[in-house]
Structure 1
Amino acid sequence: MNDFNKKPYRLVRRPGEQGPRPLPSDQGKVEKLATGKNSCTTQNTQKLKPAKNTLTVGTWNVQTLWTVGKLELLRNEMKRFRYHIIGISEVRWTGKGETPNGDFIWSGEESSHMRGVGFLLSTQAKKALIGYNPISSRIISGRFDVPPFKISVIHVYAPTSSSSEEDIEAFYNDIEQALAKTDKKDVLILAGDWNAKIGNDNTDWKSVMGKYGYGDRNERGERLLEFATVHDLYVCNTKFQHKPNRKWTWASPDGIHKNMIDLILIQRRWKTSVTNCRTIQSADISSDHSIVLCNINLKLKKPHNKPLKCCRVDVNQLRDEKIKQSYSAALMKQMKDIEPTCSLEEHAKKNRTGNQNYNRGNYTCKNNNKKRWISEEALKLADEKCRLKQLKNVSLEYTQQYKGLCRKFKRSTRQDKEH
């Protein structure tokens, strides 16, 4: 047979994932029948732009913030990521409250530095915060304005595997009480370290989890799935297909055992609004847990009123006798100028306005900008420590280097705080 009469070989795709399938010759015809428009060529194709109205919620077990410089390290590490609300487990701070700038709120034990939960808030989330409820050292809730909705975020830190069944039941009872206090119209999100393995088999649990889980299921995982079924919740970690290192959230010190126990749950009717949920292994805070970030198609409210710039007068200037007499005379003159027939509210308003005008014109204001106490050297050590985290399980040498950098960072931050 002549080579001329031979049929050319036809290239076919091997089974499995081999990249995008080639376009058929009648692609334009199919596109026109489906949409009424001709298909575009690759020359006119543009990159998809990410949605702007995206709320990013996360959870991270940091093991402890009761170490000098640990909160500063957390803030510095989160600058690398886009986030709004990050639930923090094992804060280990006593009491409850918020930091002076309002970006971190927490709930802990009364006296012992154990357990503890909190929220790290972005600037936008801080302004959208309606209120928060420090329920216990294991549960904290916050409510945020997301027009046209409100969202309630509950962050938890579940008892470990060594805890008794009574502790587990008490923990879930506390969550039940927290859920009972939330508004039924709110978008509900539960996140945290559940210390439960739900596995990757969703045969009997398709309503509460997807098919992209990780590992095997244990009894605590079964209990969590039952809880999610009762409250119509969905585990966002299992919705999307990711590589294994974007699924597991905890690893043993030797890097052999890995589990997915830090989970984010949302009401099932809102699961279609979840656009991505994955673990970020590159973030480092000297913890055996990794941060989980979840993107949701919601937008936090932006306040329309601009914050007032408050001038804090340096009262130490009143120690000068001349300034003191001048200030006293100005107050007496101001009191005489106010009409005695005006109401109490008008009297207080005029008095306050007069004081502010006089203070701005005669005294200097304090500088409210506080200098960052942590040094650049400590931040460089943190960046180097973050780089070595990805290599610490490759060899014993990298493991020793990583541990050495952790010790250097602690010493450096302690020295910065003392000076």
Structure 2
Amino acid sequence: MDNTQPTLPRQETTMRTKTNKHTKIYIAALNVLTLRTEESLSELSLALQNTKWDILGLSEVRRIGENIIAYPDFILYHMGQTPGKHGVGFLVKKYLAKHIIGFYGVSERIALLNIKLPEYKDPWTIIQIYSPTEQAETETTSQFYQELNKTLQTYAHKNAIVMGDFNGQIGERQWDEDAIIGPFTYSSKPRSRNGKMLAGFAMENNLTILNTMFKKNKNRMWTWLSPDGKSKNQIDFIMSNKPKCFTNINVINNLNFNTNHRMVRAELNSSQPKNPRPKINPEDIKLNRYSTEENVNSLNLKLKEYKRETKDAGIQEKYNWLERTIKNTIKENKTKKENSNNWISEKTTNLLEQRSALISAKMTDNNRKEITKISKEIKENIRKDRRQRRMETIERHIRQTGGIKKAYKELTNKKEWIVKMKNSNGIKKIGRKEILNIATDYYTELYKDNTNEREIELPDNEIIPYILQEETEKAINTQKSDKAPGPDGISNEILKQMKADLIPILTEIFNGVISTEIIPKQWTESNIILLFKKGTTAIWEITGLLV
């Protein structure tokens, strides 16, 4: 059984700074038909590389259960209940992760994202839906809209977006619908049953259908193509109660992904944030042979100033200087982690290019058949590429270390987030901040000093020997590689590569701690990570706290 997680290509952040006053956040919706396998997710990630997006709502995900998974470049949330059917979710760019308030799965047709978008005072609620089709029972569709109404009125913030595959045609605007439907509708055909329910829902909740607010060519408005290629309809919509916040909406014409739906993307206007220097975390740095030499040479020159710049400094100031110098040196000579999709074979790349050309060309019966054929080949080749990469990685690590533990770590490029957590009263919380507060409160109580024992006084004449440089060197050499760094972000690999210059300084600081009995405040800080506990019931455990 292949438990390897997919290696997904990195993508650029689409929140680009412009010379004018505003920047854009791209919010989109797409019926993917299926994201059940990791190969499908990899294929979608490749397709999105050349498309601007920041938040993407997904319909027909077809993944069972409710999960939040952090990949290198985005957060995936999905909610599904029926095997092989329905399911909704979100992809959120990684740079927005810290702004996520929480996800909430209402059902396999309705999911909600609360997020504090940059430069907006109030949070936004984004609801992704997948409506029953026109062929479904009227009662089924009515229940769906009742549930959607309840979700919007119960959980939504002041700013709201509802989007997804509504499986309905709205037709032309009626005389009393100026507030919800703009002048630019796609079809003059009669409004369908689902379209009537959609319009009623929009009217009741004061939502404007953004697809109708901006003038577009008819060929850039339809969002669904029938399997036989003869019918085109506009059934995927983005609605909001804040239409003035949006500057444009587009239908993405040539997304290189195997679906008969087209992506709908709205451009949200936002006050331009300040453009700070990009933050480079030391753990994001790959020390290749050349960058290591640069770091060692550069640090060697800077550390010669240690004596002069810390002449009258205390232990804390000396340690701060050393930590700051190491970090600055690494940033100056940084080499970012390899950011490529070189695990994909040339054959797969060629197939993707062929399909992209077919999608861009005029759609004919032969084209549709060829796209279907190539899409199957793409999925199979991505599967083979992953297997090949997995075997090569395992073989390399077996030759180097004799084991596969580090190989698995390299192949795994995602982390699961906690979906919900119980507080001390047993109430489940889904908000990111609430979950963090529960964990923080638990550890605050756990490590609180409740001891009443009398401190042990050591004899005044007991002499503690000073630490030798050889002991410092041994301590550095025995540190394990490929371990997560602490809050300072300085890894063991960096210490080992620069130990010749660091040993005398660290030894002096260690001996200063012994003589003054003062430790740097950084030594009192640590990262605490919640680990998933396997079992018949998926739970998260913080030591003795079930969540």
TM-score, normalization by structure 1: 0.68
CA contact (8 A) 2:180 2:203 kept: yes
SS at match of 1:265: strand
- What residue in structure 2 maps to residue 293 of structure 1? 265
- What residue in structure 1 maps to residue 530 of structure 2? none
Is 1:381 paired with 2:316? Answer: no
- What residue in structure 1 maps to residue 329 of structure 2? none
- What residue in structure 2 maps to residue 233 of structure 1? 207
Give the deviation of 1:253 after TM superposition: 2.5
Query: 1:148-168: CA deviations, max 9, x gaps?
Result: 221110100001112112211
Distance 2:272 2:103 in 1: 16
- What residue in structure 1 maps to residue 46 of structure 2? 76
- What residue in structure 1 maps to residue 100 of structure 2? 129
Give the deviation of 1:180 after TM superposition: 2.6
Is 1:117 paired with 2:88? Answer: yes
- What residue in structure 1 maps to residue 227 of structure 2? 253
Aligned length: 317
Distance 1:275 1:371, change over 3 A: closer
Query: Which runs of 5 or more residues in structure 2 are unaligned?
Result: 1-17, 285-335, 389-547
SS at match of 1:91: coil
Is 1:155 paired with 2:128? Answer: yes
- What residue in structure 2 maps to residue 361 of structure 1? none
SS at match of 2:128: strand
SS at match of 1:167: helix
CA contact (8 A) 2:182 2:212 kept: yes
Distance 1:377 1:258, change over 3 A: same
SS at match of 1:159: coil
TM alignment of 1:180-329, pairs within 5 A: 180-184=153-157, 186-215=158-187, 216=189, 217-267=191-241, 270-298=242-270
Distance 1:50 1:400 in 2: 45
Match of 1:107 among 57, 60, 78: 78
Distance 1:173 1:128 in 2: 29
CA contact (8 A) 2:131 2:166 kept: yes
Distance 1:85 1:203, change over 3 A: same
Distance 2:361 2:367 in 1: 6
Distance 1:193 1:111, change over 3 A: closer
Give the deviation of 1:383 after TM superposition: 2.8
Give the deviation of 1:108 after TM superposition: 3.1
Distance 1:402 1:178 in 2: 38
Query: Which runs of 5 or more residues in structure 1 are unaligned?
Result: 1-47, 312-366
Distance 1:198 1:370 in 2: 44
Letter aligned with residue 81 of structure 1: T
SS at match of 2:28: strand
Distance 2:159 2:275 in 1: 20
Query: 1:371-414: CA deviations, max 9, x gaps?
Result: 855434323322321220233623x4433332331222122112
- What residue in structure 1 maps to residue 144 of structure 2? 171
Distance 1:77 1:127, change over 3 A: farther
Identity %: 27
Q: Which moved more, 1:227-236 or 1:146-155?
A: 146-155
Q: Which moved more, 1:69-78 or 1:55-64?
A: 69-78
Query: 1:61-87: CA deviations, max 9, x gaps?
Result: 010012452111111111212211110
Give the deviation of 1:182 after TM superposition: 2.7
CA contact (8 A) 1:94 1:112 kept: yes
Give the deviation of 1:300 after TM superposition: 9.1
Distance 1:301 1:143 in 2: 20
How big is the alpha-carbon RMSD for the aligned residues of Structure 1 and Structure 2?
A: 3.1
CA contact (8 A) 1:145 1:300 kept: no
Letter aligned with residue 80 of structure 2: E
SS at match of 2:114: strand
- What residue in structure 1 maps to residue 381 of structure 2? 412
Distance 1:126 1:101 in 2: 11
Distance 1:129 1:180, change over 3 A: same
Give the deviation of 1:301 after TM superposition: 7.6
Distance 1:50 1:169, change over 3 A: farther
Distance 1:308 1:302, change over 3 A: farther
Letter aligned with residue 402 of structure 1: I
Distance 1:379 1:208, change over 3 A: same
Distance 1:202 1:389 in 2: 35
TM-score, normalization by structure 2: 0.53
Query: 1:308-334: CA deviations, max 9, x gaps?
Result: 6569xxxxxxxxxxxxxxxxxxxxxxx
Is 1:91 paired with 2:61? Answer: yes
Distance 1:225 1:166 in 2: 17
